[in-house]
């Protein structure tokens, strides 16, 4: 008979993940100390270790939870009625509408994590899994478009989907260094334009 409910624990876990994400996004993984996180959350240092086994564990779990939500949200926007092209366009536009500040913070987190994971095999696998899900989602959209004749039959949907994400990630990376909201929006419109010319010929 546990003292605390499962729900309470789950809430606590999520709060720590959120607080840690805030710190990691702000200062970077290596520069963030457990003390930073603990201070930010107003909890004790020990508490963290009741929920996570290490700093790296927190890192990985943040990413995992974010990725799951990302794929969910991808699906969520999926209106039944719309054409494939419309869906894809909507996806780009939802991205375009994101506040640059959120983007910057989150993106730098994602980028750093990818880098980090690329040097740690265990993490690499989970990244790959999630990335594949994201690619598959877009690839499926494109495949639909091909079937409905909206997109050229010659495009390789997996390749195109990979390029979709590469473009998005590259733009985000760019914006990280320079550029504000307007420049980001402009690049995203450029991406939309380029992408549809490619898909539609």
Partner DNA sequence: GATGAATGAGTGTTCATTCAT
Partner DNA sequence: TATGAATGAACACTCATTCAT
How far apart are alpha carbons 127 and 26 in whole angstroms? 22
Any contact of residue 7 with DNA (CB under 7 A)? no
Determine how many CB atoms are found less than 10 A away from the CB of residue 145: 23
For every residue of 48-65, which 3-state class applies, written as one string? HHHHCCCHHHHHHHHHHH
Any contact of residue 22 with DNA (CB under 7 A)? no
Any contact of residue 119 with DNA (CB under 7 A)? no
With beta carbons less than 8 A apart as the criterion, state whether 184 and 100 touch.
yes
51's contact among DNA, a copy of itself, none, with CB below 5 to 8 A by partner kind, is DNA
How far apart are alpha carbons 72 and 65 in whole angstroms? 11
For residue 153, give the DSSP letter: T
Which span sits near DNA by CB under 7 A: 48-56, 91-99, 161-169, 187-195?
A: 48-56
Determine how many CB atoms are found less than 10 A away from the CB of residue 71: 15
Name the residues that contact a copy of itself, by CB under 8 A: 2, 27-31, 44, 46, 108, 111-112, 114-119, 124, 127-128, 131, 156, 159-160, 162-163, 165-171, 173-174, 176-178, 186-187, 190-191, 193-195, 197-198, 201
160's contact among DNA, a copy of itself, none, with CB below 5 to 8 A by partner kind, is a copy of itself
Which residues 6+ apart lie within 8 Å of 152 measured at CB?
146, 199, 200, 201
Any contact of residue 112 with DNA (CB under 7 A)? no
Query: Closer CB to DNA, residue 13 or residue 124?
Result: 13
Q: Alpha-carbon dihedral of residues 72, 74, 75, 76, nearest 10 degrees?
A: 80
Please state the separation of Cα 38 from the chain's center in Å: 25
Query: Closer CB to DNA, residue 4 or residue 7?
Result: 4
Any contact of residue 28 with DNA (CB under 7 A)? no
50's contact among a copy of itself, DNA, none, with CB below 5 to 8 A by partner kind, is DNA
Q: Could you tell me the smallest distance in angstroms from the CB atom of residue 170 to a copy of itself? A: 3
With beta carbons less than 8 A apart as the criterion, state whether 87 and 78 touch.
yes
Query: Closer CB to a copy of itself, residue 16 or residue 123?
Result: 123
33's contact among DNA, a copy of itself, none, with CB below 5 to 8 A by partner kind, is DNA
């Amino acid at each position: 008979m546990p003292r605390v409910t499962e729900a309470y624990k789950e809430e606590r876990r999520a709060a720590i993940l959120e607080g840690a994400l805030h710190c990691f996004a702000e200062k970077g993984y290596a520069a963030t100390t457990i003390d930073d996180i603990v201070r930010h959350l107003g909890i004790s240092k020990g508490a963290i270790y009741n929920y996570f086994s290490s700093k790296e564990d927190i890192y990985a779990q943040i990413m995992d939870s974010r990725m799951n939500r990302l794929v969910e949200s991808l699906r969520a926007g999926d209106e039944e009625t719309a054409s494939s092209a419309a869906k894809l366009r909507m996806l780009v536009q939802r991205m375009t509408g994101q506040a640059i500040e959120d983007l910057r913070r989150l993106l730098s987190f994602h980028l750093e994590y990818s880098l980090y994971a690329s040097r740690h095999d265990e993490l690499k696998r989970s990244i790959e899994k999630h990335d594949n899900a994201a690619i598959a989602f877009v690839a499926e959209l494109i495949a639909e478009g091909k079937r409905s004749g909206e997109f050229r039959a010659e495009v390789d949907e997996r390749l195109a989907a990979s390029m979709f994400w590469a473009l998005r990630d590259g733009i985000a990376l760019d914006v990280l260094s320079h550029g504000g909201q307007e420049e980001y929006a402009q690049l995203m419109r450029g991406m939309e334009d380029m992408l549809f010319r490619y898909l539609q010929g």
